[in-house]
């Protein structure tokens, strides 16, 4: 299985598992909590059929990646992503994140810039800042997240049951848009994740991305369910058009958190349409010249 080394813990290598399929412009898919990169199975075939190269990877602590007890913060997650892009020598990339993965996309662009990146897509966005504070009254009360951590410590399997019910809005959308079997598959993936990662990732949800957002200079698409119970639309996606210069927001009416699974027609149409658009950015030439200079050096 292909891996890229991103660090060490004691004498053990920390490696990120990835898959790389197809040809054409590279699209990098970054999954959400508590799943792995297989969760993109309703997007990957459409992207491959449309002529894109699709790279997807498992976040540290999840799927087939290493299970360390270090590096569960967005600076490290972004560094892991950067290591993968450098390892594969990718240019003209489209970064596509879901849920926690939208944090990687945002922090990567804020920290590393857009030299390698053409566009970005956020499904079920976690930015700008989920925690309610004096200067962020639209956020969610911190006690909610303390309760989540306590529930994970008490019985993470019971917590995942409740989480995934709200992840898919099972009470409203089952069985037409989320079958018992698909729900069970998600539960099995969640249960197989690192217990440490399952707990440690909760604090990362409270990362403040407000300083990263103004640095984003590529076109951005946000697709978000209006009935998202995990990352409420009003606290997240609705705020982003005022914070990113070139951003298009597509609400999915009645959509839950994982709209990529429950509403693939709307989600894939928005994704493929956005990828096909000519960005029209003059900065694209600057990036091409930067890439050419890098190749000559």
Neighbours of 52 (CB within 10 A): 20
Q: CA 75: distance to chain centroid? A: 14
Distance CA 19, CA 218 (A): 25
Contacts of 157 (CB under 8 A, 6+ apart): 191
DSSP state of 32: P
Catalytic, 99? Answer yes
Residue with tokens 């290493």: 66
Catalytic position from the list 66, 228, 235, 263: 228
Catalytic position from the list 99, 186, 194, 235: 99
**SS3 track for 115-177:** CCEEEEEEECCCCCECECECCECCCECHHHHHHHHHHHHHHHHHHHHHHHHHHCCHHHHCCCC
Catalytic, 263? Answer no
Sheet holding 93-98, edge to edge: 3-9, 12-21, 53-57, 26-30, 93-98, 117-123, 220-225, 247-252
Distance CA 137, CA 27 (A): 35
Distance CA 276, CA 273 (A): 5
Catalytic, 228? Answer yes
Catalytic position from the list 3, 224, 257, 263: 257
Which of 219, 249, 211 is closest to 93 using CA atoms? 219
Catalytically active residues, by annotation: 99, 228, 257
């Amino acid at each position: 299985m292909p891996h890229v080394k991103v660090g060490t813990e004691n004498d053990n290598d920390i490696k990120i598992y990835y898959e790389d399929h197809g040809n054409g412009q590279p699209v990098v898919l970054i999954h959400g909590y508590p799943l792995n990169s297989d969760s993109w199975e309703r997007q990957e075939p459409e992207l491959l059929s449309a002529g894109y190269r699709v790279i997807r990877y498992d976040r540290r602590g999840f799927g087939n990646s290493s299970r360390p007890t270090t590096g569960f913060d967005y600076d490290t997650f972004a560094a892991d992503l950067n290591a993968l892009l450098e390892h594969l020598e990718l240019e003209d990339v489209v970064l596509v994140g879901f849920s926690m993965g939208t944090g990687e996309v945002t922090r990567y662009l804020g920290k590393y810039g857009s030299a390698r990146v053409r566009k970005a897509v956020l499904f079920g966005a976690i930015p700008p800042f989920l925690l309610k504070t004096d200067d962020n009254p639209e956020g969610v009360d911190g006690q909610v997240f303390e309760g989540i951590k306590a529930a994970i410590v008490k019985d993470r399997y019971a917590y995942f049951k409740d989480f995934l019910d709200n992840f898919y809005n099972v009470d409203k959308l089952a069985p037409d848009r989320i079958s018992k079997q698909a729900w069970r598959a998600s539960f099995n993936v969640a249960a197989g994740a690192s217990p440490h990662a399952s707990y440690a990732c909760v604090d990362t949800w409270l990362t403040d991305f407000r300083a990263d957002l103004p640095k984003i200079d590529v076109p951005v698409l946000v697709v978000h369910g209006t009935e998202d119970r995990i990352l409420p639309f009003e606290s997240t996606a609705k705020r982003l058009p005022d914070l990113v210069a070139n951003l298009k927001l597509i609400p999915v009416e009645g959509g839950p958190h994982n709209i990529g699974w429950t509403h693939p027609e709307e989600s894939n149409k928005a994704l493929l349409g956005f990828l096909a658009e000519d960005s029209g950015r003059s900065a694209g030439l600057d990036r091409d010249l930067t890439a050419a200079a890098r190749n000559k050096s």
